[in-house]
Structure 1
Amino acid sequence: MKHSSGMPAVMERPYLLMTLAGIGILGCAVLIIGTFVAQALVPDHHWVSDTISDLAAGEWEIVMDVALYGFAAGLFAVSLAAAHAHLGRTGWSIGVVSFAILAALVIIIGARNEYGDGDDDGVVIHIYLVYGLGALFTLAPLCMAGGIGHHSTWARRVLIGLALVWAVLCPVFLLSPTSIDGLLERALGLIACAIVVTLCAVFFEQGYRARIHYS
């Protein structure tokens, strides 16, 4: 994509693109570190049978809530970076919007606290938010794979592979017994982070190359 000047649009703000990519990766790091810290603080928490959601309720809920909000910030940064370095057509635009919605869903999940404490008063929407995560983390990378493939073959293959694994593992997680759902949820969390990191790596590289040419 070029402006009337003939210069790629991504070259306008290379440092913005690199910064957003960094925030995306940092958001994943915050989620992973926060999960480890939270499960160390919560007594009798078992990482195989107890879900990450269980960590976001109770005395130490603030730790997991911060981790979720950090991840949401990373998802929103990916959406902004993808909009700035628009590498595709309609499919890419769908991916941009999907990541923005994913960020909102994660924030709502962290704020609603409808899990882990057995509280079912009022309208419970947690399961519908989970369905949204499942659908959009499948849709977004698949929609972006084509556009990103013009710039990075490895990223295209990784995004397709991660999306397919995610799509297979999601129903397995929803139907799994409680004895292993914690392990499956953590696996899904790592896949989500891998999707974000893959995109951020390409965005950072795009920004870095643009910085060299722009300077």
Structure 2
Amino acid sequence: MTTGNQHGTARQRPLLARALGVTGLLGCLAAIGGTLLAQAIVPQHDWVSETISDLAAGRHAVIMDVALYGFAAGIMATSLATARVHLGKLDWSAGAVALAVIAGLVIIVGARDEYGDGDSNGGAVVIHSYLVYALGLLFAYLPVGMYGGLNRAHPTAARTLAILGGGWVVLAPVFLLMSTGFDGVVERVLGLIACGMIAILSWVTMSRAPDAPEPRA
């Protein structure tokens, strides 16, 4: 027999998954909105040749800092949501952990204020390039780790995530190796791909929330 307290708890759990999913989507909007606002305010910014990192340095850096922190919060919420609404096995769990690590790396990127420009921020070791490489690898893993679980529950979402992952795997090395003439636009495409991955996972966890299995005693 189910008690009133147990029933109330069961109703709260889907609400938590939905709230985490919404937070993930809001984090993506923060990243996109902050980038658009910063490049509209920063004078003489060329979004084709100048990267998002250029927007995060200088007198208007606070805009991109807030956008990065918002994006990190959304990614962490998505990590918690995917752990709560678990659709896979070890590969899915690894994907949820990867999301948490990505969120931490994004926070470090925003806090360190390095952006690969050679500025050591008061003598500290410049680690921006290492952070970028780590983010590249972790985002490349997400479609691999999440595909199996998504394909069983939401095949369309799984295919979309796989397409985004393919685009990431192709463009990320191009961005790292290309000249500075077009790296701004390539970085923005990569940013949209990253937001797309997070948005898909957030949407799936929201839609699966009512059907999320109760944890075993």
TM-score, normalised by the number of residues in structure 2: 0.89
Where do residues 196-207 of structure 1 align in structure 2 (5 Å cutoff)? 196-207=198-209
The 8 Å contact of residues 69 and 106 in structure 1, kept in 2 or not, is answered as: yes
Where do residues 134-153 of structure 1 align in structure 2 (5 Å cutoff)? 134-153=136-155
Q: Secondary structure at the match of 1:150?
A: helix
Most deviating of 114-123 and 137-146 = 114-123
Percent pairwise identity:
54
Mapped to 1, the partners of 2:87 and 2:11 lie a distance apart of 13
| Count of matched residue positions in the alignment of Structure 1 and Structure 2 | 201
Runs of 4+ aligned residues of structure 1 deviating over 3 Å after TM superposition are none
Mapped to 2, the partners of 1:60 and 1:12 lie a distance apart of 41
Most deviating of 117-126 and 185-194 = 117-126
- 1:119 Cα offset (Å): 1.2
- 1:159 Cα offset (Å): 1.2
The 8 Å contact of residues 56 and 116 in structure 1, kept in 2 or not, is answered as: no
Structure 1 position 107 matched with structure 2 position 144:
no
- 1:149 Cα offset (Å): 1.1
**Residue of structure 2 equivalent to 1:193:** 195
RMSD over equivalenced CA pairs, Å: 1.5
- 1:21 Cα offset (Å): 0.4
Structure 1 position 57 matched with structure 2 position 57:
yes
Where do residues 63-212 of structure 1 align in structure 2 (5 Å cutoff)? 63-115=63-115, 118-120=118-120, 121-208=123-210
Mapped to 1, the partners of 2:182 and 2:13 lie a distance apart of 45
The 8 Å contact of residues 58 and 117 in structure 1, kept in 2 or not, is answered as: no
What letter matches 1:86 in structure 2? Answer: H
Q: Secondary structure at the match of 2:58?
A: coil
- 1:141 Cα offset (Å): 2.2
- 1:116 Cα offset (Å): 6.8
The change in CA–CA distance for 1:111 and 1:119 in structure 2 (over 3 A counts) is same
**Unpaired stretches in structure 1, ≥5 consecutive residues:** 1-9, 211-215
What letter matches 2:146 in structure 1? Answer: M
The 8 Å contact of residues 162 and 195 in structure 1, kept in 2 or not, is answered as: yes
**Residue of structure 2 equivalent to 1:5:** none
TM-score, normalised by the number of residues in structure 1: 0.90
Q: Deviations over 1:173-215 (max 9, x none)?
A: 00111110000000000000000111111111112456xxxxx
Mapped to 2, the partners of 1:183 and 1:141 lie a distance apart of 23
The 8 Å contact of residues 20 and 81 in structure 1, kept in 2 or not, is answered as: yes
Mapped to 2, the partners of 1:116 and 1:171 lie a distance apart of 16
Q: Secondary structure at the match of 2:108?
A: helix
